[in-house]
Amino acid sequence: MASANRTSVPRIEPIWWALFSAGGFVSAFLVPVHLFVNGLAVPLGWLDTDIASYARMSELINQPLVRIYLFVLIALPLYTWAHRFLFTVQDMGLARFRKPLAVLCYGSAVTGSFWAVWILW
Protein backbone atom coordinates (compact mmCIF):
# COMPACT_ATOMS: atom_id res chain seq x y z
CA MET A 1 0.00 0.00 0.00
CA ALA A 2 2.74 2.37 0.98
CA SER A 3 4.44 1.75 -2.31
CA ALA A 4 1.83 3.40 -4.47
CA ASN A 5 2.84 6.64 -2.82
CA ARG A 6 6.54 5.99 -3.14
CA THR A 7 7.42 8.70 -5.54
CA SER A 8 11.15 8.35 -6.15
CA VAL A 9 11.61 7.50 -9.79
CA PRO A 10 14.75 5.41 -10.27
CA ARG A 11 16.85 6.60 -13.18
CA ILE A 12 19.02 3.50 -13.43
CA GLU A 13 16.28 0.83 -13.51
CA PRO A 14 14.98 1.76 -16.99
CA ILE A 15 18.53 1.51 -18.30
CA TRP A 16 19.02 -2.01 -16.90
CA TRP A 17 15.65 -2.95 -18.30
CA ALA A 18 16.44 -1.48 -21.73
CA LEU A 19 19.75 -3.42 -21.83
CA PHE A 20 17.91 -6.52 -20.61
CA SER A 21 15.30 -6.33 -23.32
CA ALA A 22 17.80 -5.48 -26.08
CA GLY A 23 19.86 -8.44 -24.88
CA GLY A 24 16.73 -10.59 -24.98
CA PHE A 25 16.34 -9.73 -28.64
CA VAL A 26 19.97 -10.62 -29.36
CA SER A 27 19.74 -13.90 -27.40
CA ALA A 28 16.52 -14.91 -29.12
CA PHE A 29 17.39 -14.01 -32.72
CA LEU A 30 21.14 -13.72 -33.21
CA VAL A 31 22.65 -16.19 -30.74
CA PRO A 32 20.76 -19.21 -32.19
CA VAL A 33 21.99 -18.31 -35.68
CA HIS A 34 25.60 -18.33 -34.44
CA LEU A 35 25.06 -21.53 -32.49
CA PHE A 36 23.85 -23.12 -35.69
CA VAL A 37 26.42 -21.68 -38.07
CA ASN A 38 29.53 -21.63 -35.86
CA GLY A 39 28.59 -24.51 -33.60
CA LEU A 40 27.07 -27.01 -36.04
CA ALA A 41 27.08 -26.15 -39.71
CA VAL A 42 30.80 -25.33 -40.05
CA PRO A 43 32.27 -28.04 -37.75
CA LEU A 44 30.05 -30.69 -39.31
CA GLY A 45 31.01 -29.63 -42.81
CA TRP A 46 27.51 -28.60 -43.90
CA LEU A 47 29.03 -25.30 -44.94
CA ASP A 48 32.30 -24.79 -46.76
CA THR A 49 34.86 -24.75 -43.89
CA ASP A 50 36.90 -22.18 -45.78
CA ILE A 51 34.43 -19.45 -44.91
CA ALA A 52 35.34 -19.97 -41.25
CA SER A 53 39.05 -20.38 -41.76
CA TYR A 54 41.41 -18.59 -39.40
CA ALA A 55 42.66 -16.26 -42.12
CA ARG A 56 39.16 -15.29 -43.13
CA MET A 57 38.01 -14.81 -39.55
CA SER A 58 40.94 -12.65 -38.54
CA GLU A 59 40.42 -10.57 -41.66
CA LEU A 60 36.74 -10.15 -40.74
CA ILE A 61 37.46 -9.26 -37.17
CA ASN A 62 39.66 -6.40 -38.28
CA GLN A 63 36.64 -4.62 -39.67
CA PRO A 64 35.35 -2.10 -37.13
CA LEU A 65 31.69 -2.90 -37.92
CA VAL A 66 32.26 -6.60 -37.27
CA ARG A 67 33.87 -5.77 -33.94
CA ILE A 68 30.92 -3.65 -32.94
CA TYR A 69 28.61 -6.46 -33.99
CA LEU A 70 30.56 -8.98 -31.91
CA PHE A 71 30.54 -6.61 -28.96
CA VAL A 72 26.74 -6.33 -29.15
CA LEU A 73 26.45 -10.10 -29.56
CA ILE A 74 28.59 -10.77 -26.48
CA ALA A 75 27.72 -7.90 -24.16
CA LEU A 76 23.94 -7.44 -24.43
CA PRO A 77 22.96 -11.01 -23.47
CA LEU A 78 25.01 -10.58 -20.29
CA TYR A 79 22.52 -7.93 -19.16
CA THR A 80 19.63 -10.25 -19.97
CA TRP A 81 21.24 -12.87 -17.77
CA ALA A 82 21.97 -10.36 -14.98
CA HIS A 83 18.44 -8.94 -14.88
CA ARG A 84 16.68 -12.29 -15.18
CA PHE A 85 18.91 -13.97 -12.62
CA LEU A 86 18.48 -11.11 -10.16
CA PHE A 87 14.68 -11.19 -10.41
CA THR A 88 14.58 -14.99 -10.24
CA VAL A 89 16.65 -15.30 -7.07
CA GLN A 90 14.74 -12.40 -5.59
CA ASP A 91 11.43 -14.15 -6.32
CA MET A 92 12.84 -17.35 -4.84
CA GLY A 93 13.01 -15.61 -1.50
CA LEU A 94 16.26 -13.63 -1.47
CA ALA A 95 14.59 -10.22 -1.82
CA ARG A 96 16.38 -8.89 1.25
CA PHE A 97 19.74 -9.37 -0.51
CA ARG A 98 18.57 -7.43 -3.52
CA LYS A 99 21.16 -4.63 -3.28
CA PRO A 100 24.29 -6.85 -3.08
CA LEU A 101 22.81 -9.26 -5.63
CA ALA A 102 22.16 -6.37 -8.00
CA VAL A 103 25.74 -5.19 -7.63
CA LEU A 104 26.95 -8.73 -8.28
CA CYS A 105 24.69 -9.37 -11.30
CA TYR A 106 24.90 -6.03 -13.11
CA GLY A 107 28.53 -5.71 -12.01
CA SER A 108 29.34 -9.01 -13.73
CA ALA A 109 27.60 -7.86 -16.89
CA VAL A 110 29.48 -4.56 -16.92
CA THR A 111 32.77 -6.38 -16.24
CA GLY A 112 31.96 -8.80 -19.05
CA SER A 113 31.28 -5.89 -21.40
CA PHE A 114 34.64 -4.30 -20.64
CA TRP A 115 36.31 -7.66 -21.02
CA ALA A 116 34.72 -8.01 -24.45
CA VAL A 117 36.02 -4.56 -25.41
CA TRP A 118 39.48 -5.51 -24.19
CA ILE A 119 39.55 -8.72 -26.19
CA LEU A 120 38.03 -7.24 -29.33
CA TRP A 121 40.16 -4.10 -29.54
Partner 1 sequence: MKASTSRSTIKLEVTRYRPSVDSEPHDQSYEIPCTDDMVVLDALNYIKDRVDGTLSFRWSCHMGVCGSCGVMVNGQPKLSCAIFLRDYKREPIHIEPLTNFPIIRDLVTDITDFMTKLKAVKPWIIRKKEKPLSEGEYRQSAEELERYHQFSGCINCMLCYSACPVYGLHPGFLGPAAAALAYRYNLDSRDQGNDERQPAIASQEGIWECTFVGECTVVCPKDVDPAAALQRSKVATAQSLLGSFILPRASGKSATEGSS
> Which positions touch partner 1 (CB under 8 A)?
1-11, 13-15, 17-18, 21, 87, 91, 95
75: exposed, middle or buried (Cβ count in 10 Å: 0-12, 13-18, 19+): buried
CB of 4 to partner 1, least distance (A): 4
Residue among 24 and 112 whose Cβ is closer to partner 1: 24
What is the smallest separation between the CB atom of 57 and partner 1, expressed in angstroms? 34
CB nearer to partner 1: pick between 74 and 83: 83
The 3-state secondary structure of 47-105 reads CCHHHHCHHHHHHHHCCHHHHHHHHHHHHHHHHHHHHHHHHHHHHHHHHHHHHHHHHHH
Rounded to a whole number of angstroms, the minimum distance from the CB of residue 5 to partner 1 is 6
Give 9 or 44: the residue with its C-beta nearer to partner 1.
9
Q: Which is nearer to partner 1, 5 or 58 (CB)?
A: 5
Least separation in angstroms between residue 47's CB and partner 1 is: 36
Around Cβ 41, how many Cβ atoms within 10 Å? Answer: 16
Closest CA to 79 of 35, 34, 13: 13
